[in-house]
Chain A
Amino acid sequence: MLTTWAYVSNYFVYSAMAVFALSFFAHAFETAWAVRAPELADNTSGNVLTKTFDYTRTERAARIATAMMILGFLLLLCGVIARGISAEHVPWGNMYEFSITGALAFTGAYLVALRKHDLRWLGLFVSISVLLTLGTAITLLYRNSAPLVPALKSTWLVIHVIAAIISGGVFLLANVIAASYLYLESMEKKGGRKPWAKRLPDLETLDQLSYRLVAFVFPLWTFAVIAGAIWAESAWGRYWGWDPKETWAFITWVAYAAYLHARVTIGWRGRRAAWLCLFAGSTFLFNYVYVNVWGTGKHTYSGL
């Protein structure tokens, strides 16, 4: 019965991948069409047109892409829940489970942010990175659903990991936006945006958005670290022991704290702030990949 749920979970994850792939194509089509549209108009009429875009033509593709993204999110959510049922615990026992939940959190962060800001230009990136994450997870990291080792049997697993995963999803989104900022900024310096990039938000908006995301999720990350410390106290007999994962969580915290101070107190904006944001985000990624795969310490469980 429980193994059946594991299969159900896998089907959901595969379907989610297929839907994310469709979303990716829809986003790609939308991006490409938005670029080509005025050029076509240019050729047929012979008039000199400024390269502004007719969004009504790509609106349908954009809507389909977002709908697919939502559907993919729901399918993946079902996959994660089914995985949890099959293992009889929250599905955060190994790296495969972290990865699918992380992809879910990333998509979720994107969709939530989409309600307030028009981020659909990011969809291409979000869909491909979720696709890659799920692909890696299911091919390289897949492990059979198994019960938890005793150290993980705690309510804090739910609290600590959910806080960490949500923070991770939002940090990555902020990172993507900061990277876009840097890319677009250098493009503008070299003589203006290329046609396809004209539809992306202006630099000021990107700058503000990545800051807002970090400021919003920094308390949650702080909470994730503290919840981890409380759990470590009851499982390992000390609340802080400079275990590699703890150390890197601390480094990430310090880096984001520096970022927030640099912005709020010293008034860093733009390029420097974006680089600092990227640096802080990369410490999070490093923690996830390095400590889980090559690292030693108490956060490595059951073969990834």
Chain B
Amino acid sequence: MSNEVDLPELGATGLARFAWRQLTSMRTALILLMMLGIAAVPGSLIPQRSQNPMAVRQYFIDSPELAKWIDRLSGFEVYSSPWFSAIYILLFISLIGCVLPRSFEHFGAMRALPPATPRNLSRMEFFTSFSGDESNFEKGRAWLKRKRFRIRIEDGSISAEKGYLRETGNLLFHLSLILILIGVSVGSLFGMRGEAIINKGERFISLPTSYDTLTFGKLVNESTLAPFIIEVDDFQAKYDAVTNAPQDYTATVRVTNPGEKTSQIKKLKVNSPLTFGNTRVYLQANGYSPIVTVRDTAGDVVFQGPVPFLPQDGNLRSIGSIKVPDARPQIGFVASFLPTYARDAKQGGISVFPEALDPKLLFSIWEGDLGLDSGIPQSVYRIDTSKMKRIALDSLKPGESFTFSAGTITFETFVPWVNLQVVDDPGKSYALYGAIAAILGLLASLFGRRRRIWIRITSSGVVEVAGLAKNGAPGLEEEVAELVAFMRDEK
């Protein structure tokens, strides 16, 4: 006895056809859809590089072994990982394989006449018959025509169908999902995204070197940057006096379009970005830049200017560093800026309000090697003090100076800074149109009612009317009753 089964030879084309059928089957599509949902979960539980790179770095410090494994499985970039991409690409192939043939079929069906009237109408739904003549029949035809039914007339019978919109909507919905995917892809291939911190009073020229961070899509490069100029004239932040929560941020900016000489003054707010063609500029964050002057023992200026500090909490306690690599030996200031200074028994100097009501600069002074030449990239907000020695500690109010062994530091004043995010997303309009079409399609497919109505007049003078609702669409009974009433002249 052999358990071998003689399988028919599939061959390469047969196998491919089999795989295609499997992939485009509804069951596979449904499984892929569920898999897509499940695959999206880890990205919301594990910090993602694209959103919170600091948290990812912290994860590596807290549990290095686990982090290494998560990283190997692209757990910190779930949404651009090979496995996530594989799922949605397969899903979309499946969707295209399912929807395109159906679209052609539907296109054909829309232009074809409704199917012929069935022989036995009494088997259909809502069957009604009454004695009548040609005039009743004609009335029925007029009614159906007025109600925009698709009509097929054979001798003695009418076959009418309506509600193709349901399938049209269904197909439109699925096709527009493809349009959304195209929009997302165009955005990530041809887009750009950059950020820059600009102090109040400074001018920003959109050149690759002006950005703090700048990333391009795979198919574009620096040459596509629109060289507009933004000058930050003013920045106002309003805070609630009770809750300390921000109420309004407004940056007044002077904008010069690429290639133009004249500039315009515009207001930039959180929910109203500036627009340059496809490029938009957003007000994303703000903070303070203390302006300090450092002099050496001879009184010569070795450092001067505003230094952006990084906010740490809602009251804008900000940390930063002032690096003076030209001093011999090198000097560094590890500092915090407190817009409204207060002293806390546990934490030391804190800020109790985000507005600069009683600003203070706290710092420690370090002498030695700043490590700037080591080639390892350093944060501008921090100093690696491992090769340095602390020589002093103090705090200053605006206008005050402090003299230490290697010179003098003066806290002149401070200015606010704004973080501008510059985004060019050429695909977003496709995504938007896709989204609008998707909703319209969805509405049509869920609320559209496809139904057929037949009228027949027999040689013995009996008029028969019946209907058929697809997908159990409601309301056909009333419709048939209305038609019958009209035909019998009751209305």
Residues of A within 8 A of B (CB): 144, 146-151, 153-154, 215-216, 218-219, 222-223, 226, 229-231, 233-244, 247-248, 250-251, 254-255, 257-258, 261-262, 264-266, 283, 291, 295-297, 302
Contact = CB atoms under 8 A, between A and B. Distances in A.
A265 B26 contact: yes
A154 B33 contact: no
Contacts of B446: 215-216, 218-219
Given A230-B432, A237-B284, A264-B471, A150 B40 contact: no
A237 B44 contact: no
B439 A223 contact: yes
Interface stretch (B126-134, B301-309, B378-386, B421-429): B421-429
Given A218-B442, A237-B273, A264-B471, A147 B240 contact: yes
A251 B41 contact: yes
B247 A150 contact: yes
B13 interface: no
Given A150-B270, A296-B52, A302-B243, A254 B439 contact: no
Nearest to B282: A237
A241 B50 contact: yes
B248 to A, nearest CB: 6
B421 A150 contact: no
The main secondary structure of chain A at its interface with chain B is helix
Contacts of A283: 37
Interface string B325-346: 0000000000000000000000
Contacts of B421: 237
Contacts of A237: 193, 273, 280, 282, 284, 421, 423
A91 B133 CA distance: 65
Contacts of A248: 44
B245 A302 contact: yes
B43 A247 contact: yes
Interface string B20-31: 000000110110
B96 interface: no
A297 B44 CA distance: 9
B435 A229 contact: yes
Nearest to A230: B432
A223 B443 CA distance: 11
Given A218-B442, A266-B30, A153 B428 contact: no
Contacts of A257: 33
B153 interface: no
B282 A236 contact: yes
A244 B44 contact: yes
Contacts of A240: 184
A289 to B, nearest CB: 13
28 contacts: A146-B243, A150-B246, A150-B249, A215-B446, A218-B446, A219-B439, A219-B443, A222-B442, A229-B431, A230-B432, A235-B271, A236-B282, A237-B280, A237-B421, A237-B423, A238-B193, A238-B425, A239-B431, A239-B432, A240-B184, A244-B44, A250-B37, A250-B40, A251-B37, A254-B33, A254-B37, A257-B33, A261-B33
Closest 4 CB pairs of A and B: A254-B37, A150-B270, A247-B44, A237-B282
B423 A266 contact: no
A225 B168 CA distance: 23
Contact of A239 (B36, B271, B273, B428): B428
A226 B439 contact: yes
A233 B435 CA distance: 14
B271 A297 contact: no
Nearest to B434: A226
B271 A266 contact: no
B190 interface: no
Given A146-B242, A241-B50, A251 B284 contact: no
Given A239-B428, A241-B51, A261-B26, A147 B43 contact: no
B271 A255 contact: no
Given A144-B242, A218-B442, A222-B438, 9 more contacts: A146-B243, A150-B248, A234-B271, A237-B193, A241-B50, A244-B44, A254-B36, A261-B30, A266-B26
